[in-house]
Amino acid sequence: MSRSTEPFAVPALDLKAQYRAIRDEIDPVIRAVIESQFFILGPEVSGLEAEVAEYCGVAHGVGCASGSDALLLSLMALGVGPGVEVITTPYTFFATAGSIWRTGARPVFVDIEPETYNIDSARIEDAITPWTKVIIPVHLFGQAAEMDPIMEVARAHGLTVLEDAAQAIGASYQGRRTGGLGHLSAFSFYPSKNLGGFGDAGMVTTDDEALARSVARLRVHGMEPKYYHHEVGFNSRLDALQAAVLRVKLRHLESWTMRRREAADRYRLLFREAGLVDDLVTLPVERPGNFHVYNQFVIRVPAPSRDRLRAHLAACRVGIEIYYPIPLHLQACFAPLGHKPGDFPHSEAAARETLALPMYPELTEEAQRYVVSSVGEFLRQQPRSSSGSGRAA
């Protein structure tokens, strides 16, 4: 996150504040793992698997080395490989499409809904071919994709749905948690995610026992029992230190989620109080029926203001990030797919216009006031867009 050593007035993310608050719980469990000298898989990992599965309301959790591997292992367990197409969004972290590519399958992109930045469920059917096998909706920034229509179209065409829930642990859709909405799901416990380890970690959750067993085998080179290999997997084991840390943090997840939501509400209030309304800046939309967990609080300003706002906030020492500056269909490595600018206009516009403000449970009101007044300072100097509400300047 903060690669620079320069201190921020408000950082994009403050993991030290989180650690300070739970140090007394974390340090002893790390010590206990060290004393046990049991570092790979084992009881801490199976404990975390059971707890995350229960949290998501599914029967099985299979820990692995990262969220990227959780996606790759899931696709391998589903038999995705050369000749197969997998539908997903081009506006996501690279791993979503990278994992598809790594199996030898072809990522097929479907544009996003501009309000939620999630895959547009109404456009999925048009992208289905006889080679389509899987749909990967991403619950971007902490808000679930429109899962009912996605499951409906999957059912109609006999497809499997793999949730990329890396940014959305604890989020729900129509009262049901992510991780239990599709056929299987991939979580990341990268440190900046809402439930983050002290390093890389990930998990696959599913109700399907055969898929869970397959993922569990693939993460240990396809081995079962020891030294008998029926298929070729790879090494994606989860280590006990990460699991022990994550089990402590999972107990705090609900309260951290509530604090993220309070911070999001407070941003909305502060923007409103500052008179920074919709013709100047677009705030995140929480769909009815969705419980957003705000891994990111992403605002939107018209191009070319975004890049100037970014520079202004850097000068104010406000930590921000651009998720994501280049949509995946325009990444150099995916040139063989033959896409060009204009293919997915909503994703391309989002890549030009969005910016993530500081967001973490410990974010104070004072810090948020500073962030909003810094944004306001910049926006008030901008010419109003002609499509605005027509207020007198």
Ligand X SMILES: *Cc1c(COP(=O)(O)O)cnc(C)c1O
Residues binding ligand X (CB under 6 A): 66-68, 92-93, 95-96, 138, 164, 166-167, 188, 190, 200, 202
Contact partners, residue 369, CB within 8 Å, separation at least 6: 270
Pairing mode, if any, of strands 290-291 and 202-206?
unpaired
Shortest Cβ distance from residue 324 to ligand X (Å)?
Answer: 10
Residue closer to ligand X (CB basis): 78 or 95: 95
Shortest Cβ distance from residue 334 to ligand X (Å)?
Answer: 16
Residue closer to ligand X (CB basis): 98 or 149: 98
Residue closer to ligand X (CB basis): 63 or 376: 63
Grouping H, G, I as helix, E, B as strand and the rest as coil, residue 123 is helix
Residues in a beta bridge with 311? none
Query: Rounded to an integer, what is the distance from CA 132 to the centroid of its chain?
Result: 24
How far is the C-alpha of 315 from the C-alpha of 313, rounded, in Å? 5
How far is the C-alpha of 41 from the C-alpha of 217, rounded, in Å? 13
Shortest Cβ distance from residue 384 to ligand X (Å)?
Answer: 34
* Per-residue DSSP letter, 173: E
How far is the C-alpha of 192 from the C-alpha of 294, rounded, in Å? 12
Residue closer to ligand X (CB basis): 146 or 164: 164
Is-contact 171 143, C-beta < 8 A? yes
Residue closer to ligand X (CB basis): 165 or 280: 165
Shortest Cβ distance from residue 66 to ligand X (Å)?
Answer: 4
Shortest Cβ distance from residue 9 to ligand X (Å)?
Answer: 26
Residue closer to ligand X (CB basis): 271 or 323: 323
Helix, strand and coil content of the chain, in percent to the nearest 5, comes to 40, 15, 45
Shortest Cβ distance from residue 1 to ligand X (Å)?
Answer: 12
Task: Tell me if the bond preceding 288 is cis, omega within 30° of 0.
Answer: no
The CB-nearest residue to ligand X is 67
